[in-house]
Structure 1
Amino acid sequence: MSLEGSEEISIGTRIGQLAAAHPDRPAVIAVAPDGTRNSITWARLASESNAAARRLAEAGVTERTTVAVALPAGVDHVVATVAAWKLGALVVPLDPYATASERAAIATALGEHLSVGGPGSTVPAGSWRTGGYPTGPIPPRGVPRSASLTGGTTGLPRVVLRRKPWVYPPDGLLSPSERARGMRFEQVQLVVLPMYHAGFSALYQGLALDHQIVLMERFVPRLFPRLVQEFRVSYVRIVPALMRMILDVPDLGDFDLSTIEGVHHGAGPCPEKVKRRWLELIGPERVYEDYASQERVGSVLIRGDEWLAHPGSVGRPTDCEIRILDEDGKELPAGETGEIYLRSTSSRQPEYVGTGPALPERDGFFSIGDLGYLDEEGYLYLVDRKSNVINVGGANVYPAEVEAVLLGLSSVADAAVVPRPHEYLGQVAHALVVPADAARPPTATALAAHCREHLSPTKVPMSYEVVASVARKSSGKIRRRDLA
């Protein structure tokens, strides 16, 4: 696959255009938790990514290579990603803080790949700055693409390909869907989400739209209003857990947030009191919520003023049709809860790097396993987000994965992990543990230490409870609803 002879431009070419237009303007300003900054201009981003591309090519990267970028949020992440795309590679952003067992599972899912950053990195971060690599332009090669990690209720990672490659028709840089969510050309975008989460697509699409990117290397609530005011931020992609934390900043009302044109949130339900406070803070016409998935079978959108008329809804379809079906595939009337199925003109089964499961499909409509209902006006309301998966501040935690870690302890005979409500994060994981010796049950401290050794911080249960037994079906499956 190649762009040769095509009018479409790659994101690498686009960055070169913007470097020529305003070479000395900052493209990315990375902000550390203590407030210190590290910035890169458009000219330097273009030249340094050229050098990095040559370093990657020296390591064997071609348009057929999968490049795993396991760098913390920052300038090096941007340089490495753009460099890989200039070679036409497939980029997969990874959690730089994943544990050894998590990295091993991810490596299996990725198959053959080259890594930038992280333990055993093929190309260490910043190595392109010390080898005397030329910084001149590189002719476009291949078609730059990306993929993201996700998992089912088993917690086993799978890698879903992004439907759209990172190329653009000359007049199609800004899509109607992005415009409907508050994005514009030449905005100042504050990136608060991790690079292995929605922060990735928000940042790189922002670069294509000539955004100045203000990138928080790690989310610190008190910095949010200060950065919005200082840089006159106009666009933010966020999740409800972070929205709640920002509301608790003591002097939030003292800052000027009036420059914000769009706050776009998703990745989990937003508590009503948090939603209403943000509508008051920013203005309802500037707050956008959507319901979508990495499998890209369709999306639903609602703006704040619509939400006030339909509180609790995630909106109406923007590019798809919705059906609510019962277990037999019968379409349900308004107000009745069933499984959500979506169909758009581009709907199809997801593509994976390696293997992955097919989505449930009925008459061209696809389900990602969520339950909900429609009202009489066609607004969608979610009832449950993938019943077994625990949504911790917008990040999915898979009970089976955490249970497997707990069962690795000789002092644990059985275990189940269930969600518990949390004021800030929406949900957290709670572990129910059956001791191997009832007279000497494991302590919460010991359980937590074991989990921290084998799981990334988001997945570690917030609390532990010793129980006599875990309710199971005759098939051996946990009766999770009985434990909730």
Structure 2
Amino acid sequence: MIAFFLEQMQQAPEHEAVVSDAVRISNEELLVKIDLFRSWIKQEAIHQGAVVSFNGDYSADAIALFFALADNKNIIVPLSNDSAAHFDEFRDIAQTEFDIELGNGNPKLLCRERKHSHPLYESLRETSDPGLVLFSSGSTGKSKGIVQNLRKLMQKFTTPRKSLRMLIFLQLDHIGGVNSLLFALANNGTVVVANDRSPASVCQAIERYRAQVLPTSPTFLNLLLLSRAYENYDLSSLALVTYGTEPMQQSTLEKLVSTFPDIEFQQTYGLSEVGILRSKSRDSASLWVRIGGNEFDVKVVDNTLRIRAESSMLGYLNAPSPFDDEGYMDTGDLVEQDGEWLKILGRKSEIINVGGSKVFPAEVESVLLEMPEIEDVVIYGEAHPITGKVVVAKIKPTEPLSSREMKKRIREYCVERLSSYKIPVKVLVTAETTYNERYKKMRREIK
């Protein structure tokens, strides 16, 4: 599979592969970097099948090292600098044998005095396939180490698609980031890298490098609207924004469509455990989406989405397998169904049961985000001796307000917009962000 990507680049050597303020590099130059890393890997005696981590966000070096390690049939553990606080935890879960640090100079290599023989790793070594280890976001609990057969992940990109200039938002430690990179390079597209993931930097990169596609999260898109950074840049090249990783709030989507009438908004769906499914939104302003593809089987059981995929993970390093006897994974996502169309309501584990009535956090968040006093909000449940759970709102305000005043305004605003049991009974005001380094809301249910 590596050969396919290298051949694609060889066919258009002068095509721009990666572009950012730090570097502009052609396919030919990227191939040279891959060869240099191949030689370095051989020189440092990183053996085939070894578990190797590297930290470094999107750059020509990080991309070249990724492909060189895959070519060496290594089990790759990419780590984003955003998650630096978790590096030791992730490396311990993955039981890395080599750790590489990418910086402005030569790569630094740390050889670990450990050899790991997890059954999932042994299955990759037996077939001489490269592997990929990703970690769940931990938004509702401890991160799980997810092992993928990288050859199978790459296989689906051999079908020709449109060549696009894609701004990479999700990092290499995220299935969405890996998917975007492989899509771009398989189709002689261009990887556009912003200086950082602030709204201003993303808008600047879109303008400067004429990005056509922005894959991102609903949380970032809400921040973009609040910042109004888009007013200072020419975003006319941007034709498509895809969003996933968490439920989109209807109010946010409607604002986006109104603000950017010439851009198509498309919901995506995927998990590190099964890969990214092909998707199509009913229209830009709709939360109804059709998902699937030739390599995926999708079904709904008890209003919960289940998926079977050719590119499913091999398993978890530190948790039991989530697949049933037929190979389906219960995603834990509750959905509504309208023929072939689905509406993702949210994780079953995040649903708040108030006296027997279900509260979907995204629905409450959508209403609260209409309030001018609220910049961002995350909704979760807290144990209650009578109702079982109550709704809690953690608010980042747009103006200085006490929790008591914010609670009063929320109740006044929601009384005619939400059923009484959905209105937050506890309000916490914070100056901190309500999302993690992957721009995904952090829901911490208090028991």
TM-score by length of structure 1 reads 0.62
Q: Which runs of 4+ in 1 moved over 6 A?
A: 389-392, 456-463
**Alpha-carbon distance in 2 for matches of 1:457, 1:227:** 20
Inter-partner Cα distance in structure 2 for 1:73 and 1:291: 22
Amino acid in structure 2 at the alignment position of 1:296: V
Paired residue for 1:387?
A: 349
Q: 1:320 to 1:278 in 2, by over 3 A?
A: farther
Label 1:271 to 1:48 Cα distance change in 2 as closer, same or farther (>3 A).
same
Alpha-carbon distance between aligned partners in 1 of 2:323 and 2:155, rounded to the nearest angstrom: 31
Aligned residues of 2:146 and 2:273 also touching (Cα < 8 A): no
Over the residues paired in the alignment, what is the CA RMSD in angstroms? Answer: 4.3
How many Å apart are 1:257 and its aligned residue? 2.9
Change (3 A) 1:147 1:419: farther
Deviations 1:110-138 (A, max 9, x none): 12431121xxxxx7764269xxxxxxxxx
C-alpha distance in structure 1 between counterparts of 2:104 and 2:4, whole Å: 21
Percent of paired sites with the same residue: 16
Structure 1 residue 221, shift from structure 2 partner: 0.8
CA contact (8 A) 1:261 1:286 kept: yes
Q: Which runs of 5+ in 1 are unaligned?
A: 1-7, 32-36, 118-122, 130-140, 326-337, 400-417, 425-443, 450-455, 464-477
Could you say which residue in structure 2 is the equivalent of 1:341? 306
Q: For each residue in 1:23-58, what CA deviation from the matched residue of structure 2 results, as whole angstroms up to 9, or x when unmatched?
A: 3x4321234xxxxx3232322221122112211222
For residues 253 and 174 of structure 1, do their structure 2 counterparts lie closer, same or farther at Cα, with a shift above 3 Å needed?
farther
Query: Equivalent residue of 2:321, what SS?
Result: coil
Does structure 1 retain, via aligned residues, the 8 Å contact 2:246–2:440?
Answer: no
- AA partner of residue 324 (structure 1): V
Equivalent position of 1:93 in the other structure: 78
Relative to its length, the structure with more helix (as a share) is 2
2:89 corresponds to which residue?
105
Q: Number of matched residues?
A: 360
Preserved contact between residue 34 and residue 67 of structure 2 (Cα < 8 Å)? yes
SS of the equivalent of 1:218 reads: coil
CA gap of 1:202–1:423, structure 2 versus 1, over 3 A, is farther
- For structure 2, the residue ranges without an aligned partner over 5 or more in a row are 109-126, 352-360, 366-377, 381-390, 398-427
- Which of 51, 62, 65 lines up with 1:77 in the alignment? 62
Query: Secondary structure in 2 aligned to 1:40?
Result: strand
Measure how far apart 1:239 and its partner are.
Answer: 0.8
The reply on whether 1:206 has 2:184 as its aligned counterpart is yes
8 Å CA contact retained: 1:74, 1:217: no
Identify which of 266, 284, 299 aligns with 2:244. Answer: 266
1: distance between equivalents of 2:234 and 2:104? 37
How far apart are 1:320 and its partner, in Å?
Answer: 2.5
- Which TM-score applies when normalising by structure 2? 0.66
- Structure 2 match to 1:116: 100
Aligned to 1:133: none
1:151 Cα shift? 6.2
Counterpart among 252, 271, 282 of residue 293 in structure 1? 271
Question: Structure 1 residue aligned with 2:253, among 243, 258, 275?
Answer: 275
Q: Can you list the C-alpha shifts for 1:38-85, whole angstroms capped at 9, x where unaligned?
A: 232322221122112211222222331222121133232123212212
Residue 273 of structure 2 is aligned to residue 312 of structure 1? no
Q: CA deviation at 1:242?
A: 1.4
Deviation at 1:10, TM superposition (A): 2.4
Single out whichever of 288-297 and 160-169 deviates more from structure 2: 160-169
Q: In the alignment, residue 385 of structure 1 is paired with which amino acid? A: R
Alpha-carbon distance in 2 for matches of 1:256, 1:353: 44
- Do the aligned partners of 1:30 and 1:75 also contact (CA within 8 Å) in 2? no
